């Protein structure tokens, strides 16, 4: 082992683990050499309506990219997440709902109640004309009804597309239109940190540009004032009154779509990542059980929003497939104060806690008194996801939250991967603060030379690619298989390209260093620089814009915008503020620029390409390594950029 800090699993951890170090080695080897045997066995963990006879049928060979798992099997995801638990754990809590307001009462929903709610929801959707294969957009707060809506879609074979409740009407409209949803599910308002979020009003604005939407199903959440529009808008409580609480699950082929989830890429338009039914469920249920070392009866809390893949895979589908008790939290870590997470842990005796480095850093900055006043003795395991975790935050998490008793796991994965790819298994893999450690079963990471694409062996730095398929992998981009192939398989032939850079150390541990493409990771949220740029240039006073990331203490990355104004348009602080609000309105608050620098010119090559490398260096305040600027059309531009750099 290397000289860095290494945390070896304690005896207590090893004695309860699903997978020991020895088993990890042997099973990993088998998962790679005999994927059909390995995954064929693992897939029996879920219930199949019609058993599969084929396991893996995948090709990464350009240009024939095709991914199929368990392709002749049939199953239903909702039945696996609910019905099959009823005989043994019908009265067990499936979902604990902790509201934003700490004084409001928490709700405990049993598996039996979940069954009734989901069946009724499914029948309401059927009543609105939703059929197998239809797309349903869900724009909701973090309330149990969101889980019912998603599971109801899965039950009747409709494809859900959840859009994060923090996105703007414009962003919502684009996502509704891209997948042609005729039905949108929303709530009157959401609640976060004591403030209300005008979800239904946002839907009303979005739908001005969505001619295909026929019905909007509205859940009454806050009771706040909203407008209901004629025959289009339907109250859930009215539609659900007297509806049949029984709805048979639709048999779905393993490769039928389960959901679409939009995520940012390096070009302007978000990609509709498509996940299917069988492989996804097998993968999220196995990874949830083994990576969290989940045991029956434990209370599990993932703090993500269901609007992101983390919420899909590890609030909903993975935990419920395993019959777990999963906590849904409506609020934010800082409300009413920076002790809220720890109060919720104590209140519900949470055993497994899973959050993002940005939250850890923010809470660390708020002072130790908040975490120190909590008991936290129920905690056993702490997880991290969304962005690289700096060793300082890892160690604070371990010491202050985990009281040096809990395992800390850093899980690397993506919307595209469906589930965990590189992560410690608690009883099997010693951890190093800041490293996601080793691959999960069936995952074959490769470090490639970014230029030549050559596979690098041993200790190496380069870009991270995956050499073969795993069951949770996305199957395509909704409506654009060509873009799917080009985005992930064209640059490095024979591999799935992740877009991340990484280093593999002398122990074979992986250290993810962040995106190598034009994707930003702001507080664990993925954003394309091109998305922010197109929002900026849509403003009448902006002629050109270039956006880059810079290291940010809390957010991981901040957003730095270089803006060229229209001729004769004077720059001012007021205009900078106006542009900041403009971007928030166009995309959503997560895209708020941290810095706006007005630049009369941007550094371009003679062929007109913006040299982002230089813009990144200026934003980072790192002029020593600007590199070769001689190819610029006008090298003097750089001096102006440096002279007018914004201090953050």
Binding site for ligand WT7 (CB under 6 A): 263, 309-310, 385-388, 410-415, 436, 498-500, 512, 514-515, 521, 526
Query: Which of 144/501 has CB closer to ligand WT7?
Result: 501
Q: Please identify, using beta-carbon distances, which residue of 117 and 387 lies nearer to ligand WT7.
A: 387
CB of 321 to ligand WT7, least distance (A): 18
* Nearer to ligand WT7 among residue 471 and residue 603 (C-beta): 471
Closest CA to 596 of 576, 615, 566: 576
Least separation in angstroms between residue 502's CB and ligand WT7 is 9
CA distance linking residue 542 with residue 535, whole number of Å: 10
Question: In which element (H, E) is residue 521 found?
Answer: strand 519-522
- Name the residue nearer to ligand WT7 (CB basis): 309 or 591: 309
Q: Closest separation between CB of residue 105 and ligand WT7, Å?
A: 31
Q: Is 542 annotated as a binding residue?
A: yes
d(CA 94, CA 81): 10
Cα separations (Å) of 56 from 33, 165, 619?
13, 36, 46
Instruction: Indicate the residue among 111 and 510 with the shorter CB distance to ligand WT7.
Output: 510
597 annotated to bind ligand? no
Q: Is 236 annotated as a binding residue?
A: no
Would you say 121 or 308 has its CB closer to ligand WT7? 308
147-157 b/e (C-beta count within 10 Å ≥ 16 → b): bbbbbbbbbbb
Instruction: Report the candidate in 113, 354, 152 with the shortest Cα–Cα distance to residue 259.
Output: 152
450 is in an annotated binding site: no
Kindly tell me which of 53 and 490 has the beta carbon lying closer to ligand WT7: 490
Closest CA to 401 of 393, 391, 389: 393
The Cα–Cα gap between 586 and 584 comes to 6
Is 584 annotated to bind a ligand? Reply is yes
Is 415 annotated as a binding-site member?
yes
Q: Is 30 annotated as a binding residue?
A: no
Angle in degrees, CA 632, 636, 641, rounded to 5: 100
Q: Closest residue (Cβ) to ligand WT7? A: 415
Euclidean distance between CA atoms 41 and 18, whole angstroms = 16
Q: 494 vs 514, which CB is nearer to ligand WT7? A: 514
DSSP 365: H
3 state SS for 375-399: CCCCCCEEEEECCCCCHHHHHHHHH
Looking at residue 315, what DSSP letter applies? I
Q: Is 413 annotated as a binding residue?
A: yes
Question: Cα(467)–Cα(497) distance, rounded to whole angstroms?
Answer: 9
Our CB check for ligand WT7 shows the closer of 456 and 590 to be 590
Residue 515 in marked binding region:
yes
Q: How far apart are CA 493 and CA 485, in angstroms?
A: 10
The least distance separating ligand WT7 from the CB of residue 395, rounded to whole angstroms, comes to: 16
Tell me: is residue 523 an annotated ligand-binding position. Answer: yes
Residue 365 contacts residue 391 (beta carbons within 8 Å): no
The phi and psi torsions of 410 (rounded to 5 degrees) equal: -105, 115
List the structure tokens of 615: 């813009």
Question: Residue 360: which of 337, 394, 391 has the closest Cα?
Answer: 394
Residue 556 assigned as binding residue: no
Write down the least CB distance from residue 528 to ligand WT7, Å. Answer: 11
The answer to whether 388 is a known ligand-binding residue is yes
CB of 415 to ligand WT7, least distance (A): 3
- At its nearest, how many Å lie between ligand WT7 and the CB of residue 307? 11
Beta carbons of 187 and 216 less than 8 angstroms apart? no
Using CA atoms, how far residue 109 sits from 124, 307, 462, in Å, is 20, 21, 46
CB of 314 to ligand WT7, least distance (A): 9
CA nearest neighbour of 261 among 530, 487, 518, 478: 478
Q: How far is the CB of 14 from ligand WT7 (least distance, A)?
A: 23
- Where is the binding site for ATP, in residues? 386-388, 410-415, 500, 515, 526
- Where is the binding site for Mg(2+), in residues? 537, 539, 542
- Where is the binding site, in residues? 192-195, 310, 386-388, 410-415, 500, 515, 523, 526, 537, 539, 542, 584
């Amino acid at each position: 082992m290397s000289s860095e800090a290494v945390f070896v699993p304690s005896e207590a951890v090893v004695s309860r683990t699903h997978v020991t170090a020895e088993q990890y080695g042997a099973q990993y080897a088998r998962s790679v050499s005999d994927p059909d045997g390995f995954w064929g066995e693992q897939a029996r963990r879920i219930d199949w309506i019609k058993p599969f006879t084929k396991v893996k049928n995948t090709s990464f060979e350009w240009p024939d990219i095709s991914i199929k798992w368990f392709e002749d099997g049939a199953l239903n995801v909702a039945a696996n997440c609910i019905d099959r638990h009823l005989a043994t754990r019908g009265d067990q809590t499936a979902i604990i709902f902790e509201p934003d307001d700490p004084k409001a009462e928490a709700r405990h929903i049993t598996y039996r109640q979940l069954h009734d709610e989901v069946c009724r929801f499914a029948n309401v959707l059927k009543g609105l004309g939703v059929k197998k294969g239809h797309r349903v957009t869900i724009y909701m707060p973090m309330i149990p009804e969101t889980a019912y809506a998603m599971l109801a879609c899965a039950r009747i074979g409709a494809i859900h597309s959840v859009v994060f409740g923090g996105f703007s009407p414009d962003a919502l409209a684009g996502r509704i239109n891209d997948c042609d949803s005729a039905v949108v599910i929303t709530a009157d308002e959401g609640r976060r940190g004591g403030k209300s979020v005008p979800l239904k009003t946002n839907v009303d604005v979005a739908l001005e540009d969505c001619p295909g939407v026929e019905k909007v199903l509205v859940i009454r959440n806050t009771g706040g004032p909203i407008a209901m529009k004629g025959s289009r808008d339907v109250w859930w409580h009215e539609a659900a009154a007297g509806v049949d609480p029984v709805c048979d699950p639709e048999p779905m082929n393993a490769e039928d779509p389960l959901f679409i989830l939009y995520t940012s890429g390096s070009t302007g338009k978000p990609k509709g990542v498509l996940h299917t039914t069988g492989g996804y469920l097998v993968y999220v249920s196995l990874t949830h059980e083994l990576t969290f070392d989940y045991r029956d009866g434990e209370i599990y809390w993932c703090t993500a929003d269901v609007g992101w893949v983390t919420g899909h895979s590890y609030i909903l589908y993975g935990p419920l497939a395993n019959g777990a008790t999963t906590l849904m939290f409506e609020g934010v870590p800082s409300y009413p104060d920076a002790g809220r997470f720890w109060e919720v842990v104590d209140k519900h005796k949470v055993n497994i806690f899973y959050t993002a480095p940005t939250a850890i850093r923010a809470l660390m900055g708020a002072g130790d008194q908040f975490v120190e006043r909590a008991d936290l003795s129920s905690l056993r395991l702490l997880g991290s996801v969304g962005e690289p975790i700096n060793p300082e935050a890892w160690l604070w998490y371990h010491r202050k939250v985990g009281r040096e008793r809990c395992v800390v796991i850093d899980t690397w994965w993506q919307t595209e991967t469906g589930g965990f790819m590189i992560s410690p298994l608690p009883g099997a893999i010693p951890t190093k603060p800041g490293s996601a450690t080793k691959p999960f079963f069936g995952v074959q990471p490769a470090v490639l030379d970014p230029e030549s694409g050559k596979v690098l062996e041993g200790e190496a730095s380069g870009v991270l690619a995956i050499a073969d398929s795993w069951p949770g992998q996305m199957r395509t981009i909704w409506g654009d298989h060509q873009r799917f192939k080009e985005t992930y398989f064209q640059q490095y032939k024979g591999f799935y390209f992740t877009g991340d850079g990484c280093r593999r150390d002398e122990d074979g541990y992986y250290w993810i260093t962040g995106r190598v493409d034009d994707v930003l990771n702001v507080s664990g949220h993925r954003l394309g620089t091109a998305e922010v740029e197109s929002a900026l240039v849509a403003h009448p006073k902006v002629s050109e814009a270039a956006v880059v990331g810079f290291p940010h203490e809390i957010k991981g990355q901040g957003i730095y915008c270089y803006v060229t104004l229209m001729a004769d348009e004077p720059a001012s602080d007021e205009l900078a503020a106006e542009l900041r609000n403009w971007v928030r309105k166009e995309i959503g608050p997560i895209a708020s620029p941290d810095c706006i620098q007005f630049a009369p010119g941007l550094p371009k090559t003679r062929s007109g390409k913006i040299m982002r490398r230089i813009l990144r260096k200026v934003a980072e305040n790192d002029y020593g390594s600007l590199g070769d600027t001689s190819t610029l059309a006008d090298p003097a531009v750089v001096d102006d950029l440096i002279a007018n750099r914004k201090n953050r």
